[in-house]
Amino acid sequence: MFKKAAFLVLLVLPFVACDKNDDDQAQQNTPVSIGFLHSFYEDEVSVSSNTIQYTNGFGTSLSITRLRYLISQVSFTNQDGIKTIVKDYHLVDLSQDNSLTINDILLPPGAYNLKMRFGFTEATNTSSVYPDLNAVSWNVPENLGGGYHYMQLEGRWLDPGDSPDEPYLYAYHTISAVQNPGPENTREDTSIEIDLGEITVTQGATQINVNMHIDQWFENPNLWNLSELNGLLMGNYTAQKMMQENGQNVFSLASNMSD
């Protein structure tokens, strides 16, 4: 009888150990959130407005009436090189507060390299496959390559010398660069990998803030003249490549990252 009881205890112990390991892993995971902040030089941009209150590197005064952009492949890579994709894609909309944060991320404490992508890669940029993006008119017309937008930045701008009561409109829209717009178009990936460097996740809630420096879309390395490039940019291959170059300098970790 004693031998039989001992045998049963041995059978149960491995299952108890497995359950304990699972519980320990769950206890080690800590909540992480990523917030998206926006600035124009030293000014925080938190709401869309018709008010012309910013001046870009070219010297053009402008407003920001809309800002929406797509982030994809949000990943954390630990020091062992293990990569965890925590979000396939996320649409940030300046006018929607609930879109300015990615929540529900759980990671063990430690050091990670944080990366994400501006826009979709060609492999994932397939027309009409994302119902939530379709619902907010994020599609690109097929004659311009199809797929989805990367960003819609819109507003008004003033030409020096013109009346401040008669501003012009601009639509700074980024998509895959398209050659030969029309039925025979060819599409080139102009999405941007954003390497935000090393971050530390500590036990307890960790908040990571990523800042978009909106001014850099108009400045570095291509100084942007809105009097020449203010609309119809989606079918302009050269403009899309210039935007991609400027986008390399747009995102960074915000200095007010907190745990």
| pLDDT band per the 50, 70, 90 thresholds, residue 42 | very high
Mean pLDDT of 120-125: 96
pLDDT above 90: residue 41:
yes
| pLDDT band per the 50, 70, 90 thresholds, residue 23 | very low
How far out from the chain centre does Cα 189 lie? 16
The model's pLDDT over 146-188, given as tens digits with 9 standing for 90+, comes to 999 999 999 999 987 676 678 999 999 999 999 988 888 899 9
Rounded Cα distance, 130 and 195, in Å: 25
The amino acid that residue 129 corresponds to is: V
Domains of the chain, by residue range, sit at 32-253
Average pLDDT of the chain to the nearest whole number: 89
The model's pLDDT over 125-152, given as tens digits with 9 standing for 90+, comes to 999 999 999 999 999 999 999 999 999 9
**Residue 15 phi/psi, 5° resolution?**
-70, -40
What's the pTM value of the predicted model, to 2 decimals? 0.87
Whole-number pLDDT of residue 188: 96
Whole-number pLDDT of residue 163: 67
pLDDT above 70: residue 65:
yes
The model's pLDDT over 195-240, given as tens digits with 9 standing for 90+, comes to 999 999 999 889 999 999 999 999 999 999 999 999 999 999 999 9
- Between the two ends of the chain, the Cα-to-Cα distance in Å is 56
Answer whether 130's CB lies under 8 Å from 97's CB: no
Handedness of CA 125, 126, 132, 136 (dihedral sign): positive
Mean pLDDT of 68-96: 97
pLDDT above 80: residue 82:
yes
- Residues 6 or more apart from 203 whose CB is under 8 A from it? 30, 109
